[in-house]
Structure 1
Amino acid sequence: MASLQEYGMNFNPRMKVNFEGGDLTSDAGLLLYKEFDQHLCGYHTDDHADDLSHEPLLIALMEKERLASQPTISRFNEKANFTTAKSLERIHEILQGRAYAIEPRDQFVLDLDSSGFATSGKQHGANYIHHYAQNGFHPLFCFDGLTGDCLRAELRAGNVYTSRQVVRFMGPVLERYQSWAPKALIVFRGDSGFFAVPGLFELAETKGHKYAIRLKANARLQSAAQAMANQLI
């Protein structure tokens, strides 16, 4: 009796490849691409570019004799400015619009959140973030709560509060979605870091959108909640 070897995918340990039947697919080759991406891509520092500039497979894929070196990439990054960032953001918006035009939806859930990005060295804007106990940036994000897609992101200094400039940040997102689907139900959610921003509530209510912002626990809130609970008993 011959035994067949089973292979596991590093990018997803729960996924196994064997020859025992079960769920079948004619597109299994995509797994090889994903596994390749897991092993070879995802280099996090510019220094990696010096080695990758002569990497034979990448050279073949890009049809180049040599790829960009670390100094070339650094010069490219140095030329990037506010206009570059806005252009990339506009491209992102156009792609979102095309995606929703293909699969129209009648409801959207937009999730607001912030995160801590650790940094090293003395990068401009990097500061100590008490919530994350690290030095870095404190970017603001908006995600599609139904698909997980990142809809917008904004890099901010590390020492700003969670809700800083959130009204200015969310305004264009809500307008864009309302133009795509005027009759759709639009709801946005956020944690307690966004509660103390009356302008955010006004933005939603003025445009007829729904929202759910978490309240931090406090004695007055608990007292009011207990009174309501007692009435239901």
Structure 2
Amino acid sequence: MTNILDHSLDFNSKISFCDDGTQLTNDAGLFLTTEFLQKIDFNKMIKSFLPQIDSRCRPKHGFSELLTQLLLQKIAGYQNDSMIAALAKDAALKLCLGTDQLASQPTISRFINRLDQTATDGFSRLNLALNRRLIAQSNQSDMVLDV
């Protein structure tokens, strides 16, 4: 059996795991999720399948960073955008995103509101690409659909 304490994370080598009983975050599972996203080159996939819709002059947070923050937030169980204020103090999400400051709730809300049909089509293409990658990796030739 492999122990996570025996491995380091590729996306951020400054992160260390310990089992001395201290608790630094409730969202440590996000490290493994971020490691997975880095292994599949998720940011590159975002840039190739989704339009970079950003009409702001000098955005502090880019499209892929906002999408990744929103995705990690939802995976961690924070379903409402209003939870971002509480997450702003959580070191785990900041480490996963490689930033000192998370996007604010209004920024995330504006980001969601800017998504249009073009973005929806991009999400469909991204989902298809991820599914194809999974099928190719697991070497599946048959699929059963239970309707």
Q: TM-score range by the shorter chain?
A: 0.3 to 0.5
TM-score with structure 1 setting the length? 0.32
Which structure has greater helix proportion? Answer: 2
Higher relative contact order (CA 8 A, sep 6+): 2
Which structure has greater strand proportion? Answer: 1
